[in-house]
Amino acid sequence: MDFRSLWHRPESRFLILFLSILGVSFTIVALKPVNDAFVVPYTTLIAKVAGIILGLFGEDITINGCLLRSPRFAVTIYNGCNGLITSLIFISGVLAFPARLSAKVIGVIGGLVSIQIINMVRIISLFYIGIYFPKLFNSSHIFIWQSLVILAGVTLWIVWAHLFTAQPKTDEGRND
């Protein structure tokens, strides 16, 4: 089977595009200058927002970079916990999928916002799990919340694809 015949099969074309976009985007965010100029400030911003929300819930929060500390518990938000990875995977899925440009723009913006909301719920809930159920913190952090976040990303992608690509397409409207 040559590349051209693979390219003509929708599933393999999607997988090739998806992996290419994913590979490029993850390579870009792994570069040190990008990491220093974007990923670290972005993670710090997530920590600040989480700190503000926890403050609204009555927690006495001190924010130090990516570290959230209260007299009761402290968490550090690392690169894998900032929602960036799920966002990049979701964006790769949206961009690789055959759909109109406008649908892709809506998908990317809506997906980013939704994933950040879900991730914020995750951070806040993990903070309280750390306070009230410290023994469950690791399992909640690793396999419960990570699985939930990935599945939320997949579900968002399916909902987006269902809403925005299930209408009849014309040749002009296609952007794949």
Give the footprint of other proteins on this chain (CB under 8 A).
Answer: 9-11, 14-15, 18-19, 22-23, 26, 30, 79-80, 85-86, 88-89, 92-93, 98, 139, 142-144, 146-148, 150-151, 153-155, 157-159, 161-162, 165-169, 174
Q: Which residues contact 101 (CB under 8 A, 6 or more apart)?
A: 175
Between 47 and 88, whose beta carbon lies closer to other proteins?
Answer: 88
Measure the CA–CA gap between 107 and 141, rounded to whole angstroms: 27
Q: What are phi and psi of 171, to 5 degrees?
A: -60, -35
Between 111 and 153, whose beta carbon lies closer to other proteins?
Answer: 153
Shortest distance, position 130 Cβ to other proteins, whole Å: 18
Shortest distance, position 127 Cβ to other proteins, whole Å: 20
Q: Which residues contact 79 (CB under 8 A, 6 or more apart)?
A: 39, 43, 85
What are the distances in angstroms from CA 172 to CA 24, 48, 121, 169? Answer: 28, 44, 40, 8
Give the position of tokens 């409207």. Answer: 173
Between 52 and 142, whose beta carbon lies closer to other proteins?
Answer: 142
Measure the CA–CA gap between 9 and 91, rounded to whole angstroms: 21
Shortest distance, position 161 Cβ to other proteins, whole Å: 5
Shortest distance, position 29 Cβ to other proteins, whole Å: 9
Between 62 and 139, whose beta carbon lies closer to other proteins?
Answer: 139
Between 22 and 54, whose beta carbon lies closer to other proteins?
Answer: 22
Q: How many CB atoms lie within 10 A of CB 2?
A: 6
Shortest distance, position 150 Cβ to other proteins, whole Å: 5
Q: What is the DSSP letter of 81?
A: G
